[in-house]
Each structure stands twice: as structure tokens, then as C-alpha cells.
Amino acid sequence: MLDGIIPLFKEKGMTSFDCIRKMRGILKMKKIGHSGTLDPNVDGVLPICVGKGTKVVDYLMNSGKIYQGSITLGFSTTTEDLDGEIVDMKPLDNPISNDKINNLLESFVSDDLVQIPPMYSAIKVNGKRLYEYARNNEEVERPEHHVKIHYFKQIKASFYDSQKKEQTIYFEVGCGKGTYVRTLAVDFGRKLGLPAVMSKLTRIKSGNFTIDQTVKLSDVEDAVKNNDINNVLYSIDHALKNYKHVDMSLNQWKIVQNGGFLRPSELQIDDKKCVLSYNNDIKALYYFSKDKREFKPEKMFSNK
């Protein structure tokens, strides 16, 4: 049984579930999940959790994400990206200055940015996914979505196409979980009074993995054939490395095995959470309970 995380490079044209399905076939195991869906036309980092690694999905997602891509001004689509049908066009007679672009991008930086999710998304409203309403041409009120935008900046000068009268902006954004970058693109255009679309997107960091650490499905297949899967598999500790780590004594391990509490004086730490290991094997993540004044289990990874 494999346990850990494989930083997969998801290629364009595949759904995130396609990656899970193929990975199950390659690894011959069912207990596999991913940390953060990528749309079919988006490529980049997709951490795949296997075995006990599925228990750290939430911690991987909480680490934030970084994307690089482009926004094209001059037209908009049903899906907010190039997969949809064009619904609005407005030619740019003159390009937007780079200073104005920079200031507008900066205006999105927030610890609590409100987004309205795109109709072509998997969020459920009244038990039905938004894309199902969209496909049936049904209108439905979409819930507000609160996200964090750490930074939003240009990575090179924009390009103005004088023939098409469109302008493309090349950006990088660091954001929290649940951010719709497609919607950032559309809202950016809206601030200029222009239709806009996300014309390209690559996730370059997710779950503390950067794009240069990723492997393709073919690399995982080769690793299995060559019996060196550990070369592409990271420990679950990769998702927990920001927490204080404590090596337990045998007596402490016996308490933790049964889901017991530990006093701060026993652990000799003052952090709010800590990773507990025994014999170099991660066993649990504990958090400090203010009401009990003790550390309690938040997530158990093994009691053996």
C-alpha cells in the first residue's frame, strides 16, 4: 500500500478526475484523490494524494496557489475562458497603459475579495451544479464567494493587437483556495468597462509543490515499471511541514494511539498545532484546545 503525494503535471484537455482515474489504473489502487480541481483547458500542478495521503488534502489546499496566465480584453464568453461561445465584443481603439493595468491588478489584492462564481462551475445551488443550470439555459442566483488574493501582477508588458483591436495582459496571481481566476479576468475587464476573457492559465504552484517538481502520468507509469515509485512519491509530511514536529516517547504514543490528550508541558511547545511522530513515522496532527488547556487530536494518520 502506497502512502504519500505525487505532484502531477496535469496536461491540457484532461479533467482532474481523468488524472485520478488514470492514476488508479497505473498504481492499481482506489484510495486516490487530488487537492484542488483544474479545468480541462488549464495545465499545471495537481498534487495527487494516495493512501494515507488522502488525509492531508485539506492541508495541501490551505497552502495557497500560484497561477500564471493571460487576460484578453475585447470580448467575453459564456464560460469566461476560450472554451465558451462569444457573448459580447467591444473593440479597443487604443491600448490600456501598463500603469493603469498595474493599478487595477493591485486593486484586487484582498483578504476577503467577493466573487460571484461563473455559471460554468461545479458549485451546487439547490442540489444542482451551476453548469447544469447553464447547459439548460436556466438562470439561478449565485452565492457570493469569499477568497484571498495575496498578489496580482503583470509578468511582462501587455500586447495590443491593432488589427483585432484586442489587448492581452500577462499576469501572475497568488491566491487562496477556491479562487476563480476566470472570474478575476472578467472582473478586471468590468472595471475598465470592457468585455474580457481568461485566455490562458497554468498553475505553477500548489500544495507547496512548484511546477519544476511535477511529473507526468507517463513518468509515474515508468516509475511503476522500474519499481522506483518512491522517486516520484513525497511523504505526507510535505503537507504538514509548516507545523511544529514532536517525536513522542513510548508513553505519549500509547496515549495518542487511543486518541488521548497531551499537556503542553509534555510536548514542550507553545504552538497551536503540532505534528506527532513515533519511530520516525508521522502518527497524528494535534491542536491546542483552549477550553481543555490540552492538545487534542485533529487528524489521525495511523494508530499502529
Q: Measuring CA to CA, how many Å separate 211 from each of 43, 64, 169, 285?
A: 10, 14, 22, 27
Domains 4-62+207-238 and 65-201 share a fold: yes
Position 132 scores a pLDDT of 81
CATH number given to 243-300:
2.30.130.10
List, for residues 33-86, the tens digit of each pLDDT value. Answer: 988 888 889 999 999 999 999 999 989 888 889 999 999 999 999 989 998 899
Write the pLDDT tens digit of every residue in 274-284.
999 999 999 99
Q: 4-62+207-238 is classed in which CATH architecture? A: 2-Layer Sandwich (3.30)
* Average pLDDT of the chain, as a whole number: 92
Spans of all domains in the chain: 4-62+207-238, 65-201, 243-300
**Active-site residue, selected from the candidate residues 3, 39, 81, 187:** 39
In the predicted structure, residue 109 carries a pLDDT above the cut 80: yes
161-216 pLDDT per residue, tens: 999 999 999 999 999 988 999 999 999 999 999 999 999 999 999 988 999 999 99
Calculate mean pLDDT across residues 251-272.
88
The model's pTM is: 0.90
pLDDT, residue 118, reads 77
For residues 256 and 270, the model is more confident at 256
Q: Which fold has domain 65-201?
A: Pseudouridine synthase (3.30.2350)
39 is catalytic: yes
